[in-house]
Amino acid sequence: MRLHEQAALVTGGRQGIGRAIVDAFVSEGADVMTCGRASRPSDLPSIVGWTQTDLASKDEIEELSFLALDRFGGLDILVNNAGVQIEKTIVDTTDDDWDFMMGVNAKAVFMACRTFIPLMKRGGVIINIGSVSGNIADPGLALYNASKAFVHGLTRSIAVDHGPKIRCNAICPGWITTQMTDAAFTVAEDSDAARQDALARHPAGRLGNPEDVAATAVWLASAESAFVTGQCLVVDGGMTSTSPVNPTLF
């Protein structure tokens, strides 16, 4: 029970990585609240608080903070997980694409941190979900790559400006088996070949699972990582450590 009686807010906890983090936090003893743009999932445990929230809206983030204060009285852990993805190059990206993706992936993270940092208890933890795409450029995901690079930079700034009251780190997942990853593979001319090539580049021998990211989030939220702040931890099965040469050819 590494998070016993810790008050945690996880954005985008309806499915995928966010839901895995919610479940892991609950199993470790945290009191958890989560949110999403759609209605409450039917299989979400009753002990988990839920609110339908558009995180790109300043007013709705403020309302979320009031709900969190009412439930918790203060906040120990904030996980900025909510994110969207658009599979386009920059020349195909519209102004509406920019407003939508940067609103959720960048502005929402900024506004949530700005709103909740003053409400966090001393020793609090912020975990931002970045991506290996913020360190290297995935093809056909220009704006997504840029949005995650923003998250990484903001993470470091928060750690520097607001320590030692809080710690702030980012998790940078690689290819995790979610709907978003499936959509990214559709950009390729041959989706099956792209998936097999990606798999071959993982020294771990598999793509990641949401639970792999959730386990890292539990560690970052716990006292076990008390001396870790301002870091962007890559969780990618070794993918970005490999040579660009496909290892199955040798």
Domain ranges of the chain: 7-249
Q: pLDDT at residue 177 above 70? A: yes
Predicted pLDDT at 238 = 95
The pLDDT of residue 180 is 75
First-last CA distance in the chain: 45
pLDDT over 90 (residue 249): no
> Residue 178: what pLDDT?
85
Tell whether the model's pLDDT for residue 246 goes beyond 90: no
Side chain identity, residue 86: I
- Catalytic position from the list 144, 181, 217, 237: 144
- The answer to whether residue 174 scores a pLDDT higher than 60 is yes
Task: Give this prediction's pTM.
Answer: 0.94
**Is residue 144 among the annotated active site residues?**
yes
Cβ 29 vs Cβ 12: under 8 Å? no
Per-residue pLDDT reduced to its tens digit, 82-101: 999 999 999 999 999 999 99
Question: What is the pairing mode between strands 31-36 and 232-235?
Answer: unpaired
Residue 194 is predicted with a pLDDT of 84
The pairing of beta strand 75-80 with beta strand 31-36? unpaired
Q: Which of 189, 185, 165, 166 is nearest to 176 (CA)?
A: 185
Note the pLDDT tens digit of each residue in 13-44: 999 999 999 999 999 999 999 999 999 999 99
Say if residue 250's pLDDT is above 60.
no
Residue type (1 letter), 11 = T
Question: In this structure, are strands 31-36 and 49-52 parallel, antiparallel, or unpaired?
Answer: parallel
CATH number for 7-249 (one of 3.40.640.10, 3.40.50.1820, 3.40.50.720, 3.40.50.150): it is 3.40.50.720
Tens of pLDDT, residues 214-232: 999 999 999 999 999 999 9
What's the pLDDT at 189? 79
Question: pLDDT tens, 110-151?
Answer: 999 999 999 999 999 999 999 999 999 988 899 999 999 999
